[in-house]
Amino acid sequence: MPSGQNLPYTPSVVFARARQIRAKQAYDAQFKQQRSLAQDAQRRQRQLAQDALKPGKTTKPVHPNCGIEVAYRCVLKKIIVKMNDSVLYWMSASFKANEPEVTELAQDALPATELRRSVRKLARRWQRKFNDAAPELATWFLQSVETRSSRALQNILKRGGWTVDFKMTTAQRDVMRAAINENVSLIKSIPSQYFTQIEGMVMRSVTTGRDLQQLTKDLKKQFKVTEHRATLIARDQNNKATAVLTRTRHLELGLTTAIWVHSGGGNHPRPSHVKAGRDKVEYNVRTGWYDPHEKKFIMPGELINCKCVSRAIIPGFS
């Protein structure tokens, strides 16, 4: 009988072989599972593509991006805070430098003229700052919205079986240019409206005895009003830009019919928009939907504070 060293299968060899067999079995089982999952995913993708190509199917809506809105709003508010702090400082200094003397000329117009000059000097300074910042800020904002809305629509179509590589077209450039110009005008209007109110407050303060404490309170109230307007601009422009850029992409893809989708948000929703969303009203993407309350054709997100969106109807293929 041969010795243990000459045996073809020692215990260690047998155990090693058993481990190899178990490892291969585990690998085969895992491979089969992964292949099954991949096949299931492919079947689901094919089914989605088939469903997407059926007449009457719709895309998911492209919603405005809250992150872009917040970033835009924060930049606007940061500039407004600096403007308001500057006004508070210089108005306080101007009031102290133009205290009326207790004489017969105490109500002389000269101090009032100096205060008005100080306000208008500040207005010109901050108008220049906003004018300089407006084009760059508006361009950044619209480019961010365009990139995000195009990517969102691209992903929506991809899940439906469409592979689309969006490029910046002439139509898209025209829409972007118009949106940027509107945005620039709104940014520039912030100091204009702000200082119109400030000058009136300063002059009223002069006529009521130069109450610096009351003027400071009025200035802080006006700051809140201006800050609220910046919030409205950021939200409204984000809604409008997303809607108009998505509409342009839909038309370029030949998607000419859409369903109105009410956002479901807001404290004071427009009844006509709520009804349109509930009735799933279809409208022509080129002309818009006729709003019976506004008595005109409009697009989702067009009216102030409108957060409505749309679902484009995918046409059937012969």
Residue type, 90: W
Token pair 């155990």: residue: 15
Mean pLDDT (whole number) for 69-88: 93
Report the percent of the chain where pLDDT is more than 70.
Answer: 81
Across 80-89, 174-183, 199-208, 286-295, least confident range: 199-208
Which token pair is 239? 């809604």
Residue among 260, 307, 252 at smallest CA distance from 283 = 260
Look at the chain and count its residues. Answer: 318
Burial class (CB in 10 A: 0-12, 13-18, 19+), 183: buried
73 pLDDT band (50/70/90 cuts)?
very high
Residue type, 142: L
Q: What is the pTM of this model?
A: 0.73
Tell me the CA distances in angstroms from 172 to 65, 113, 125, 221, 246, one per residue in order.
19, 50, 35, 40, 10
Burial class (CB in 10 A: 0-12, 13-18, 19+), 205: buried
What residues does each domain of the chain span?
7-52, 66-252
To the nearest 10°, report the CA torsion of 50, 53, 57, 61: 100
Across 49-58, 68-77, 241-250, 281-290, least confident range: 49-58
pLDDT digits (tens, 9 = 90+) for 187-199: 999 999 999 999 8
Average pLDDT, the chain: 82
pLDDT digits (tens, 9 = 90+) for 153-164: 878 777 766 676
pLDDT digits (tens, 9 = 90+) for 17-53: 777 777 777 777 777 777 777 777 666 655 555 554 4
Which token pair is 172? 């898209």
